[in-house]
Chain A
Amino acid sequence: MTMENLNQDSPLHLADTLADEIAHTPAQTLLGEVAEDLGDRRALASEFDAVVARALHQSRPKALTAAMKNLAAWLSQSLLRKPVLIRVGTLAVLLVAVGGYYYHDARRTGVPIASLNPPPPAPRQPGMGPPFSAYTNDDRGGSQAPAAAGMPAAAAPPPSPQVQSDLQKAESAYGMARAYEARARATDAFDRGDYPTAIASLTEALRSCANRCEPEVRAALDFDLERAQAARNTNTTVAVAAAPQPAANGAQAVAAAKSPPLPSLAWPAQGRIAVSFGARTVADAQARTSEGITIAVPETADVRAAADGIVSYVGGDKGPGKFVLIRHEGDLNTGYGHLRSVKVKASDQVHRGEVIAKGLASRAGAPSQLYFEVRQGAAAVDPMQYLPQDQDTKNTRKDRR
């Protein structure tokens, strides 16, 4: 027998072997041994139960603490990292920039430059968005609906993957916002026939855009500037004569200028007219007027195309739901707002009476309403001129305020 290898680990070695022996010993044998040693077969089992009960009781708060620690660690790693902050900041700047453009452009009314001098197939749309008067305001709770003419290209310019960093994106967006603002002023001036002012504004837009905007945007501004300069040089009297004088409501002026016969449209949905064309909203009674009608319809109602046409836009509506725009013959466009489940997509051909959306979205607690607008070109016109009058009698029109 040798004891030369005995050390502090020896009891552990012994315990390993004996533990293995215990694990393979029949339960009845073990229980018999306990009964022999302690006088109770369940003596050790009772010890076991007591320890388990204590451990389970203590593990609950520990588990909760561990879960909270894991959550805190995840939050700190996921949300507080610098790249994420930069992205969030960039997104905020982009939203402000694009929103600023829409805001300034929506304040302007009048005939778009496109209607005076129809542009060639646009080589300049991707970065800059629609030509001058692409967006106008409506009265749907302060929301701004995309107008007919430039809708397909009206979506916010997506961040370019080629941009080197998020900060560069933000700077670019800032320059573009300034350019949009100057361009909107140029459009106003152009529509009034004030070509020198238009040229000055476009020059300012180009200056704001310098080294910040993408090439497509600069090309679009150059294109507009050339047109303005050409109009000034040739003194396009036709354009000046055709353009309406600045009016409080240019859209209505344009609508009045349209000559009959008017095409007939179908009602997009059955219901009472809650807000009529031209009615001023309570929220903004000073300036905004409804450029369409609002029809109170059941929440599950189907929304149908007013006439044959091609879907030119499907997208978000600043109010609840989605917005669909359909282009018809004769440069007539119809818009449908607050839609819940849209069944068509851009470039789809739709027929009169075809269901384009199912259900209407509404804010919590508010009644469901369909917003319907008709535009001749980009100018909003009263949809009631196009809708069948017999249907009109079924709909209780609210007085125009």
Chain B
Amino acid sequence: MTTVLPGGPKQLSPTLTATEIRKTIQSLTDGEKTAVMKIARLYALRTPYGHEDLFHEALCRLLEGTRTWPRGAPAVLVVAGIMRSVAWGWRRRSTEDNADAVSSAEQEWVILLQDLISAFDGKPLLQHILIEMLNGTKGPELREWIAQLLQQKGLAVGTDVPQIDSLLRSIRRRVETFRAQTQ
């Protein structure tokens, strides 16, 4: 039995307030904190700043209210989305500020990506999936594509979700290692 206060239930705003954001951030588990920092390392790749700066910037924008936190949205996904946006802006600004060096930057990117792909030498399946990921295939579409690839190679019958998860995790681990080595 619930008690209804006079005036009816309190109407919540669709987004968290700064106070609620503080409380939510401070109450995350170690697993969630680790996930956030791992994602920050990925998005900070080839940005002018480090992953801590990226997370710090995202957090400040949340607390200042320039970015909102939809009520009920998972913390890791919200923070990841903001970090992605910030990293995108940093990269774009970096390119605009160095208009003369665009071509050299592109060359650097090509070298970086080639190095990344080379890091998967000896693992043709992972390398194939990695290139598809770099080409922009993501989410369910990517999983469906991987399932078809596995079937074509006779490695699976139907959609083997645990196998796909394992492949993606392997790629992620290799990318993390590559990032740590190139930093």
Stretch from B4-12, B34-42, B151-159 that touches the partner: B34-42
Interface size class, chain B: 35 or more
Proximity string of chain A (1-36) to chain B, C-beta cutoff 8 Å, 1 when within and 0 when not: 111011111111111111111110111101101100
Flag if B60 contacts A13 (CB, 8 Å).
Answer: no
Flag if B91 contacts A22 (CB, 8 Å).
Answer: no
Known: A18-B175, A44-B38. Contact between A11 and B45, CB under 8 A?
A: yes
Q: Which one, B29, B38, B56, B88, contacts A55 given CB within 8 A?
A: B56
Q: How far is the CA of A18 from the CA of B176 in the complex (A)?
A: 10
Q: How far is the CA of A44 from the CA of B37 in the complex (A)?
A: 6
- Residues from chain B with a CB closer than 8 A to the CB of A27 are 29-32, 34-35
Query: A283 in the interface, Cβ–Cβ < 8 Å?
Result: no
Flag if A14 contacts B176 (CB, 8 Å).
Answer: no
Query: A85 in the interface, Cβ–Cβ < 8 Å?
Result: no
Flag if A51 contacts B60 (CB, 8 Å).
Answer: no
Chain B: minimal CB distance from A115 (Å): 56
Query: B16 in the interface, Cβ–Cβ < 8 Å?
Result: no
Flag if B136 contacts A13 (CB, 8 Å).
Answer: yes
Across the two chains, which residue of chain A brings its CB closest to B53? A51
Flag if A17 contacts B139 (CB, 8 Å).
Answer: yes
Known: A8-B106, A20-B139, A22-B35. Contact between A62 and B64, CB under 8 A?
A: yes
Known: A16-B84, A47-B37, A55-B59. Contact between A22 and B172, CB under 8 A?
A: yes
Q: Which 9 A-B pairs have the closest CB atoms?
A: A27-B31, A48-B33, A44-B37, A59-B63, A10-B134, A15-B42, A45-B33, A55-B59, A45-B30
Some 24 contacts from A to B, beta carbons below 8 A apart, are A1-B127, A5-B135, A8-B105, A12-B43, A13-B135, A17-B138, A18-B172, A18-B175, A19-B43, A21-B169, A22-B35, A22-B172, A27-B35, A30-B34, A30-B35, A33-B173, A44-B33, A44-B38, A48-B55, A55-B63, A56-B22, A59-B18, A62-B63, A66-B65
Question: Which A residues are closer than 8 A to B by beta carbons?
Answer: 1-3, 5-23, 25-28, 30-31, 33-34, 37, 41-42, 44-45, 47-52, 54-56, 58-59, 62-63, 66
